Amino acid sequence: MSDADLLFRPDLLAKYGANGPRYTSYPTALQFRDDFDPADYRRAAADPGASETDLSLYFHIPFCDTVCFYCGCNKVITKNRGRAKPYLQQMIREVALQARLFDTKRPVSQLHWGGGTPTFLSLDEMSALMAATREHFTLLPDDEGEYSIEIDPREATAQTVAHLRSLGFNRLSLGVQDFDPVVQKAVNRIQPLELTVDVMNAARANGFESISVDLIYGLPHQNVSTFRRTLETMLLLAPDRISVFGYAHMPHLFKMQRQMDETTLPPPAQRMALLQLVIEQLTDAGYVYIGMDHFALPTDELARAQVQRTLHRNFQGYSTRADCDLIGFGASAIGKVGDVYAQNAKDLTGYGAAIDAGELAIRKGVRLTADDRLRRDIITELMCNLELRYDEFEAAYGVRFPAAFAPELERLREFERDGLVARSADRLEVLPAGRMLVRNIAMVFDRYLGAQQRESFSRTI
């Protein structure tokens, strides 16, 4: 049996596929409270016990030149490049504000610019933001840190890529979605192949360590034969990582999605065929299925980390870095510091007003309980390392796992009968057929997830 046959079980995907969180955090952002006290965040930042932990910095740059109809990100669509200027000044001020709260000798082992479109900024603006970051925090020498940026190939040239490398970025993540011109037109993202190729070539020429590419299945007009061509083209380009997300059609939440003709969306059976195609093509080409939507070449650090059980998960997805304290900069950015999650104001006006007044822009957040911490670790272990070793939880939390989680383990009986998990006296293991449904397995351990909440999340398959 091939890897794809082991992973892809359409009967089980249809049975268990349901709406659910991606668990970039636990509890999820739905649990963040409006009455969160930013003093909790400040206390967590000042905790001397945290000085052994590295820092991770996330910068949210929300501007995009044109809208992609499928998009569910927090973004501002504008052709006016001048709009970035005041926002950039506010982010630079926020860097200084946040730096006062932390021991800034702590090494920054991860840094990420996401959006929106980070390269909406001019080269000089990018330099200014990175200079402010270096002034206030301890960035690592080149290639010791995991410093990544999301690139829209329509908004970047070879010169942009070289500039980013000179600023210290060493990983790129490219949005592609689909090479097919009919699909590109339907989603309002016209991106000729040459643009993607040019950026990838420039990244290689400039010594970027890892190139990651995003595709989406389930978009209008996609079918197996067109998407096969997209995948074949992508395989020729041989990125280190490929993420293939299932398009989440939620027009009640994202108005722009109403611009697409719903009748052109692939029906469920065709979506399943597209997913099967993805798994077959990528695993046959030698990519390792990491989990959720992510595939990586066996030489890539994510694939190696999974073998060594050192894979982690954060707001940007999978990572090889140990759990860091995460500081989020910019509108809607989320920080995770010790036992606290805190999210900045989502709108530019609210964010800017707070920063201009010399205050943090935190609007929501949550402080974890002991039970939250334990469940967060359980969910992370399942999502990253695909097993729970009970003795590790007993050592870390003093709980006798099978007794403490008897109801959850009971709920997993059916998953076990269907061959998604294997339970033994000392561990719970996710089997190959369960890997695509790992979110559904993790959901069993989520104590907040009610039926109503599920509707806020996209489908797991």
Residues that bind ligand SF4 (CB under 6 A): 64, 67-68, 71, 73, 75, 115-117, 152, 175
- Bridge pairing between strands 63-64 and 76-77: parallel
- Contact by Cβ (8 Å): 374, 26: no
Instruction: Say how far apart CA 382 and CA 56 lie, in whole Å.
Output: 22
CB of 188 to ligand SF4, least distance (A): 8
Report the residue number, 87 or 415, with the smaller CB distance to ligand SF4.
Answer: 87
Report the residue number, 9 or 294, with the smaller CB distance to ligand SF4.
Answer: 294
CB of 71 to ligand SF4, least distance (A): 3
Residues 6+ apart with CB under 8 A from 159: 123
Output the six-digit token pair for 94: 């926020």
Report the residue number, 117 or 314, with the smaller CB distance to ligand SF4.
Answer: 117
CB of 67 to ligand SF4, least distance (A): 5
Instruction: Say how far apart CA 424 and CA 402 lie, in whole Å.
Output: 10
Report the residue number, 75 or 271, with the smaller CB distance to ligand SF4.
Answer: 75
> Facing residues of 58 across strands?
112, 328
CB of 174 to ligand SF4, least distance (A): 11
Report the residue number, 265 or 442, with the smaller CB distance to ligand SF4.
Answer: 265
Output the six-digit token pair for 232: 């074949």
Instruction: Say how far apart CA 163 and CA 151 lie, in whole Å.
Output: 13
Report the residue number, 259 or 456, with the smaller CB distance to ligand SF4.
Answer: 259
Place of tokens 């190696």: 304
Instruction: Say how far apart CA 50 and CA 284 lie, in whole Å.
Output: 44
Our CA dihedral for 210, 321, 382, 13, rounded to 10 degrees, sits at -20
CB of 172 to ligand SF4, least distance (A): 14
Report the residue number, 13 or 68, with the smaller CB distance to ligand SF4.
Answer: 68
CB of 72 to ligand SF4, least distance (A): 8
Is the previous residue joined to 27 through a cis bond, with omega within 30 degrees of 0? yes
CB of 64 to ligand SF4, least distance (A): 3
Residues 6+ apart with CB under 8 A from 220: 183, 186, 187, 260, 261, 264, 265
